[in-house]
Amino acid sequence: MLVMVMHPDNWLHRAQRQQFFALQHFDSLASTVYQFKRNEMAAIPVENWAYVKVRSGVIGLGLEEGRLLALEAGDSWLGYPGGLMNWFQDGAVELEVWTWQGVSAQVIPAIIQGYSDLMLALVNHNIKVVPEPMPGFEFFNTGDVIIQEGDVADSVYTLIQGRAKVMVNDKQVGEAKENEILGLQAMLLKTTRTASVIAEGPCSAVKVTYDKFRSLIENRPELVISTLETMALQMQRANQRITKI
């Protein structure tokens, strides 16, 4: 794997671990093998691709302004890159592609979140955000609601300290840990909150409105916004599949 933007020292190791984790859940499932000549891949709809592995050749993720990373034989990634990002290919390629069919509903969010965290790590490494407390720094006690299910999503939180549980219809579906971004999906998609986040102990978090969030990433808007919108769309698709099971 070749990363074409700045990245943390341990990023490639994390990416390799995520590939190994995801392939554990796809390798035993039915897949489709595609062979594309030069530039043929761009004309293929990939909205239903869940996961893709390169068998030969090179493909990568990019934006109109440039390339982010390239995948070589043996590398794998989420199959659908979103509406703003795109797959590119260098010469003829052979790909193995899976849909989400047969993947456990419980593991789908972990697969998507793992790759989302990798892309967010690239984002955080390519922009400079002041680490000191800023307006919007909030504190919560045990049982306090950080995010309320059903509310208008006009802001995002970064959990600075503590842990919180993620609840849907009064049932715990996950846990938020330090340095996680909370409420991002709903804010980017301009929908209402799909889950509540409740402090499990003393917590601190930075609340940033959508307008402020955009101003913080002015240095690399094309990379950051496209990456986060891609994550939001992928999570939305996964949530829709889970609720139908």
Query: Would 160 be classed as within a structural domain?
Result: yes
Query: Would 182 be classed as within a structural domain?
Result: yes
> Is the CB of residue 126 less than 8 Å from the CB of residue 53?
no
User: Which one, of 139, 232, 161, lies nearest residue 194 by Cα?
Assistant: 232
Length of the chain: 245
Number of structural domains (the chain) is 2
pLDDT score recorded for residue 14: 92
Alpha carbons 204 and 184: distance in angstroms, whole number: 17
Query: Would 162 be classed as within a structural domain?
Result: yes
Classify residue 152 by its DSSP letter.
Answer: B
pLDDT score recorded for residue 238: 61
pLDDT score recorded for residue 233: 58
Query: Would 244 be classed as within a structural domain?
Result: no
Continuous segment of H or E residues that includes residue 30: none
Q: Within this chain, do residues 78 and 13 fall inside the same structural domain, yes or no? A: yes
Q: Within this chain, do residues 50 and 93 fall inside the same structural domain, yes or no? A: yes
Q: What is the CATH number of the domain that holds 10?
A: 2.60.120.10
Query: Would 48 be classed as within a structural domain?
Result: yes
Determine if the pTM surpasses 0.75: no
For residue 65, the enclosing domain spans: 2-98
Query: Would 109 be classed as within a structural domain?
Result: no
Query: Would 187 be classed as within a structural domain?
Result: yes
> Is the CB of residue 165 less than 8 Å from the CB of residue 176?
yes
Mean pLDDT by 10 residues, the chain (245 residues): 82 93 93 92 86 93 78 92 78 93 86 81 62 60 92 85 88 82 79 90 84 65 56 62 56
Q: Within this chain, do residues 92 and 138 fall inside the same structural domain, yes or no? A: no
Query: Would 27 be classed as within a structural domain?
Result: yes
Q: Within this chain, do residues 53 and 135 fall inside the same structural domain, yes or no? A: no
Continuous segment of H or E residues that includes residue 240: helix 221-244
